[in-house]
Structure 1
Amino acid sequence: MPSGQQARAQAAAITPGKRSPETAEATPVDRVRALFGGHRLSPGQRRIAQFLIDHLTEAAFLSITELAERVGVSQPSVTRFASSLGFSGYPALREALQPIALSAVAGAPEGREEQRRNELQEAVDHEIENLTSLRRTLADADRILEIGGELARSVPLTVLGLRISVSLAEYFAYAARRIHPDVRVVTRGGSVAYDALLQSREAGGTWVLAFAMPRHANETLAAVRAARSTGLRVAMITDLALGPLAHEADVAFTAGTGSRLVFDSYAAPGVLSAAILQAMADADPERTQARLEKYEQASEQYDFFLAD
């Protein structure tokens, strides 16, 4: 994490009179967002950040008490937010914001609707960058094909996803059941997860596919370690190539998450999940075809879907 002095220097580098040619066209909103860039903020901290962006000319001069009341958070939350950006406290953050706010007053301010529209567009742009990075990763598909084959041969196959990662795990498990005879999903941690993992190993399973999205949970790390203690191998889809979670996995695939809005978005992890499902399907094409045909027959017999 950068020091408060480094963070203030980052803001100063893009204030009027001190900007490089690359940032000469940066708007005040861009300069505020630059302070937040590269920092993993919690949903609550993102609310504070968004308030500062939306109300820059006012918020930069509020006391910590006033800012906390306006955002609807506690004063310690504001202090932690400033510290997470590398500042010694809220006063240092406010000191960095004030010259940017004054430049916004002096120039032609952007309308709030335009700011909001651009914020949503930038969130999409960020996800496009994540997908572009994933595309480069998938240029060498050997690792995906190899792990897809391993997961296809693991009967049962366990899919693990806790807290925010539950939705990705359930999506993967739902689709995998169409092509795999025994898929078990674990969405609760603690002893419940350990029991499920142990049962999977005793039933002949060899692999777990774990999802670990931010904010990374201690119980996910505990479950991964529990899986390995039973003899299961762990493949992981996460957003970080380094760190304790990826280190504990036998193989880790990374896909960036969108972090420009209050809550993360998961375009790239979703595409990566679909790619692994494709690799599983290709690993045993006869079984895949037989199971898909059987499912289609059942769906027609029991009217699962609306007629097209």
Structure 2
Amino acid sequence: MPSPQQARAQASAITSTSGKAVPEADASPTSRLRELFDGPRLSPGQRRIAQYLIENITEAAFLSITDLADRVGVSQPSVTRFAAAVGFSGYPALREKLQSIALGTLAGGPVAAEENRSNELQAAVDAEIQNLENLRRDFADPGRVIQVGRELSRSTPLTVVGMRISVSLAEYFAYAARRIHPDVRLVTRGGSVAFDALLQSREAGGTWVLAFGMPRHAQETLTAIRVARGAGLKVALITDLALGPLVDEADVAFATGTGSRLVFDSYAAPGLLAAALLQAMTDADPERTQARLEEYEQVADQHQFFLKD
């Protein structure tokens, strides 16, 4: 019995980038490969395999597992795990499917193959546009964002947590929030360092923590959220999934998609969501916001923080 992933890949019609269903025989090889690889959550190493297959399908489909592993620069067990992750019993079953797709590429000629490779980055942009469209629909009712922004604004100190890949989003938020909030504390390390920071934040009068949990979701993030709630802090979470251990532990969660077409995720929608929460914080206390921004601009001019336009 085929897995759900195989059933989806073997369906008689797929959805094109225009949103219209097209017969699988008429779909480009790249579209058919994306249909195979887009469903599961793949690790960066597995995405490297997927990307290589998409870019080199006419050759890669006929490689042995040893040769494919060598070309991509991974181990043979990694290829086997990749085949299982995308819904096949093993590499031979996956290769059989790849070969049927490769024959379609060969039939399309070198121009079609080159078009498939050149459009991979465009497909990544298209996926992020879809994430932003979904976020736009979520913003049709901005009540939760406004309310949480108000609570974050009131929390003094305000602690921002981001571990591993989520550090960049946490740093962006904390950097901007410090311009409008008197006491923002950034936690990017787990273990006892995070434990101390969260306890100190609560003892100093803090009431809320904003945590970022992007894939692959860090165990340290889950531990930090549990410590925060155990200390009496409330946790707002920005993540990519509406379900899961992180969401279960948070007081309020905002789930928005990440771009997963490339080897490493991109964060257009989570970044915009973070900016929306910052906007809600500024609107929650406009007088404080204006005073702090003006003070900061005076200091920036005095010390020449920035280049003159």
TM-score, length of structure 1 as denominator length? 0.94
The worse-fitting range, judged by mean Cα deviation, of 30-39 and 145-154 is: 30-39
Is residue 96 of structure 1 aligned with residue 97 of structure 2?
yes
- Cα displacement (A) at 1:14: 5.0
Q: Percent identity?
A: 72
Query: Secondary structure of 1:185's match?
Result: strand
> Number of residues paired by the alignment?
302
Which amino acid in 2 is paired with 1:192? V
Deviations along 1:198-226, one digit per CA (max 9) or x if unpaired, are: 11001110000000001111111111111
Q: Identify the range of structure 1 (151-160 vs 91-100) with the bigger mean alpha-carbon deviation.
A: 91-100
Mapped contact 2:9–2:32 kept (Cα < 8 A): yes
* DSSP 3-state at the match of 1:236: strand
CA distance in 2, matches of 1:12, 1:235: 40
Structure 2 counterpart of 1:164: 165
Letter in 2 for 1:268: A
C-alpha deviation, 1:134, in angstroms: 0.5
After the TM superposition, which residues 1-308 of structure 1 pair with which residues of structure 2 at under 5 Å, given as runs?
4-13=2-11, 21-110=22-111, 113-308=114-309
Using the alignment, how far apart are the partners of 2:6 and 2:236 within structure 1? 41
Q: Structure 1 residue 109: deviation in Å? A: 4.0
Q: Distance in 2 between matches of 1:110 and 1:90?
A: 28
CA distance in 2, matches of 1:85, 1:223: 32
Distance of aligned partners of 1:142 and 1:6 in 2 relative to their CA distance in 1, 3 Å threshold: closer
Contact 1:150 1:207 in 2 (8 A): yes
Question: Which whole-Å CA distance do the structure 2 matches of 1:278 and 1:158 have between them?
Answer: 17
The structure-2 alpha-carbon separation of the partners of 1:13 and 1:165, relative to structure 1 and needing over 3 Å to count, comes to: same
Q: Deviations over 1:144-163 (max 9, x none)?
A: 11101100000000000000
Specify every segment of 5 or more residues in structure 2 that has no aligned partner in the other structure, as ranges.
14-20
Q: Any gaps of 5 or more consecutive residues in structure 1?
A: none
State the shift of 1:90 in Å: 1.0
Deviation per CA, 1:154-208: give whole Å up to 9, x if none. 0000000000000000000000000000000000011111111011001110000
Give the drift of 1:4: 4.8
Native 8 Å contact 1:4 1:88 kept in 2: no
1:107 is paired with a residue whose SS is: helix
The answer to whether the Cα contact below 8 Å between 2:131 and 2:258 also exists between their aligned partners in 1 is yes
TM-score normalised per structure 2:
0.93
